[in-house]
Amino acid sequence: MALGAEARRRFVSRLHTLSHRQILDMLHTFAGDPVGVGRALPGQVRMSLQSLVPGRPHFAVSETWEEDLHSLLGAPWPCSQRERLGPVLAEVGASLTARGLAYGRQTYGSYSDGDSSLCRAAWCTVRHTRPGVVIETGVARGVTSRVVLEALAANDRGHLWSIDLPYPFDHQLHDQIGAAVPDACRPRWSYLPGTSGQRLPPLIDQVGRVEVFIHDSLHTARNTVFEMEQAASAMPPGGVMLIDDIALHKGFAVFAGRHPEYRTIVCPSADRTGLFGIAVNTRRPEIAPAA
C-alpha cells in the first residue's frame, strides 16, 4: 500500500495521539504475548493505513434506509417492532454503567460499541426474517450480540454464533468481552474465539446455511470481502448481511459489484461519523422440477 508524503504525515500525527497509558498497555501486552500481538498487528496497521490512502469509495447514502430495508424484507412500514428496541438499549447502557464501563465510541481499546442505527437494523432484520442461524464477526462488549439475542428470544427461535478475536493490544480488556450479554441470553449464544479466517469456513460447513450475517471485525477490504463471500456461499434467498464501517475501504463496493443479486443500502451511523451497509439476497428461490 503506497502512501504519499501527506498520508505519511497524517499517519505519524495519528500515532502521536496515543496516550502514554495506551502505549504502556500495548508494550505490556506485547511482553506477555508477543506471538498474539505480532499476528494481529499487520491487520491493524492495514486498517489504520487504508483510511489515509486516496480513492476510497463514495457511496450514495440513504436517509430512508429503515423504510428501504423493510421494503426489501417485505415487512410493513412503519415498523411495530422498532420501538421495542429502546428498552433493550437502555438496559445495555445501564448494565455497562453499573460495571463502571463507558458506552459508545472507542470505549473498548480503539474499538467502539455497536452503533444504535446498526442495532436497529439488526433488531428489525432478525425480528422480521425469523432466522434460525445468525453469524457475526466481532463482539467486544457484545452490544450488537445482545440485540440479536433479544430478538431471537422474542422470536422464540434461532441461534447466534459469534466469532471474535479478543482485543490483542490490551489483555486487561478481555474480561469485558460480552459484558452486555446477560446469562438469560446465553443459551442461544455460541462464542468462538479466533479470527474469521480460522473460524468462519468450518462454522459455515457445520451450520449449513447463514440467514443473517453481521460483520464488525477487522475492517479491511480483504477481510470484509472474504467474510461476505463466505457468508454468501451459504446464504439462501432473503438472507441479509449487515456490514459495519464500509466507508473505510472498497470491500463492500467490490462485493456488490460481483453480486448483482444482492440489493444494497448504504446507511449513516446514528452519530453521522460512519457508514454501514446492508445487502439482501434477492435471488429467487430455485423451484424443483415437477416429477
- Is the pLDDT higher at 94 or at 170? 94
Q: Inform me whether the pLDDT recorded for 84 exceeds 60.
A: yes
Residue 175 domain flag: yes
Residue 132 domain flag: yes
- Give the domain CATH number at 209: 3.40.50.150
* Residues spanned by the domain of 175: 65-281
Query: Distance (Å, rounded) from C-alpha 1 to C-alpha 46?
Result: 8
- The CA-atom distances, in angstroms, between 106 and each of 1, 73, 160 are 26, 32, 25
Query: Distance (Å, rounded) from C-alpha 65 to C-alpha 266?
Result: 7
- The DSSP annotation for 7-34 comes to HHHHHHHHHHTS-HHHHHHHHHHHHH-H
Residue 195 domain flag: yes
- The DSSP annotation for 132-159 comes to SEEEEE--TT-HHHHHHHHHHHHHT--E
Residue type at 233 in one-letter notation = S
Predicted confidence at residue 112, as pLDDT, reads: 76
- The CA-atom distances, in angstroms, between 45 and each of 6, 14, 83, 124 are 17, 12, 39, 34
- The DSSP annotation for 39-62 comes to HHHHHHHHHHHHTTSS--------
Predicted confidence at residue 282, as pLDDT, reads: 97
Predicted confidence at residue 106, as pLDDT, reads: 72
- Is the pLDDT higher at 218 or at 57? 218
Predicted confidence at residue 51, as pLDDT, reads: 56
The pLDDT tens digits of the residues spanning 38-76 come to: 555 555 555 555 555 556 678 999 999 999 999 999 999
Phi, psi of 278 (to 5 degrees): -120, 135
Burial label for 97, CB within 10 Å (0-12, 13-18, 19+), is exposed
Beta-bridged to residue 262, according to DSSP, are 281
Beta-bridged to residue 163, according to DSSP, are 137, 192
Burial label for 24, CB within 10 Å (0-12, 13-18, 19+), is exposed
Residue 33 domain flag: no
Mean pLDDT score, 19-45: 53
Decide the pairing of beta strands 159-164 and 240-244: unpaired
Query: Distance (Å, rounded) from C-alpha 64 to C-alpha 254?
Result: 23
> Is 190:161 a contact under the CB 8 Å cutoff?
yes
Residue 229 domain flag: yes
Mean pLDDT score, 81-91: 95
DSSP 74: T
Q: Count of domains in the chain?
A: 1
- The CA-atom distances, in angstroms, between 46 and each of 108, 133, 171, 203, 226 are 19, 31, 21, 26, 15
Residue 92 domain flag: yes
Predicted confidence at residue 18, as pLDDT, reads: 46
Burial label for 130, CB within 10 Å (0-12, 13-18, 19+), is middle
